[in-house]
């Protein structure tokens, strides 16, 4: 049987995602990026993964002044614009979509939401990597009657953390499915559970969790892959 193709937005840790998603040998991955000018490849894709990476430019949620106010330098407007095109296509075609870290943030902005440009500047505890370069880990509480709760089969868990931006206002049609003890949104999904495609956004990095058998990594991947199997493309 021919493998289905998954489009993965090209970020800094592409190999981590490739290894995680192709471990079961069910799908082929193609990198999607403005550098390659290969938007047309998405027409061959049965699903999309939005990877981590740079901050989302605040101009896309109508707060351009945040760049100077919070000294934001890790920005790539061309990537933002390219991935908004990817999101538009995926949403229109009902492609299964998984957003990870920055992927959650750009998707929230695409649907009209906003971000906190620097978590600690708003009086919240750090969610960035530890000084030695390792991910932080912290608990998350899951919302009942959500896809994420259904996938993981639990109400509480522990996830890794390596980000300094987060969701502020939730985008249209999206709902929170996980929250950290300090009140930050850790996951989003479509409010309408009858939507025809898998759609899950997580702030953590399931592709590199210390425990790959965690339901916050393994179960997410398996549900995503099962949604691809069911996709007729």
* Active site members: 101, 205, 207
Contact 189, 142 (CB under 8 A): no
User: What DSSP string describes 37-105?
Assistant: T-GGGGGG-SEEEE---SBPPGGGGT-TTHHHHTT---B-HHHHHHHHHHHHHHHHTT--EEEETHHHH
Beta bridge partners of 68: none
Rounded to an integer, what distance in angstroms lies between the CA atom of residue 10 and that of residue 19?
14
Rounded to an integer, what distance in angstroms lies between the CA atom of residue 118 and that of residue 27?
36
Give the pairing type, strands 174-179 and 136-142: antiparallel
Nearest C-alpha neighbor of 51 from the set 95, 77, 86, 91: 86
Joined tokens for residue 233: 């493309």
Reduced to 3 states (helix: H, G, I; strand: E, B; else coil), residue 184 is coil
Joined tokens for residue 59: 């101009």
């Amino acid at each position: 049987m021919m493998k289905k193709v998954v489009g993965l937005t090209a970020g800094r840790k592409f190999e981590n995602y490739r290894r995680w998603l192709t471990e079961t040998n069910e799908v082929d991955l193609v990198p999607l990026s403005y550098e390659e000018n290969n938007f047309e490849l998405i027409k061959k894709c049965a699903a999309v993964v939005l990877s981590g990476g740079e901050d989302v430019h605040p101009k896309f949620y109508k707060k351009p002044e945040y760049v100077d106010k919070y000294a934001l330098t890790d920005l790539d407007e061309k990537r933002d614009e390219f991935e908004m095109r990817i999101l538009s296509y995926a949403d229109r075609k009902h492609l299964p979509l998984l957003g990870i870290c920055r992927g959650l943030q750009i998707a929230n902005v695409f649907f009209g939401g906003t971000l906190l440009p620097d978590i600690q500047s708003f009086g919240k505890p750090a969610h960035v990597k530890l000084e030695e370069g390792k991910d932080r880990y912290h608990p998350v509480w899951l919302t009942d009657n959500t896809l994420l709760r259904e996938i993981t089969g639990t109400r509480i868990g522990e996830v890794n953390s390596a980000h300094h931006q987060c969701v502020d206002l939730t985008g249209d049609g999206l709902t929170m499915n996980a929250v950290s003890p300090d009140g930050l949104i850790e996951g989003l999904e479509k409010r309408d559970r009858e939507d025809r495609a898998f759609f899950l956004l997580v702030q953590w990095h399931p592709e590199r969790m210390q425990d790959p058998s965690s339901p916050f990594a393994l179960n997410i991947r398996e549900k995503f892959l099962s949604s691809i199997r069911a996709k007729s493309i």
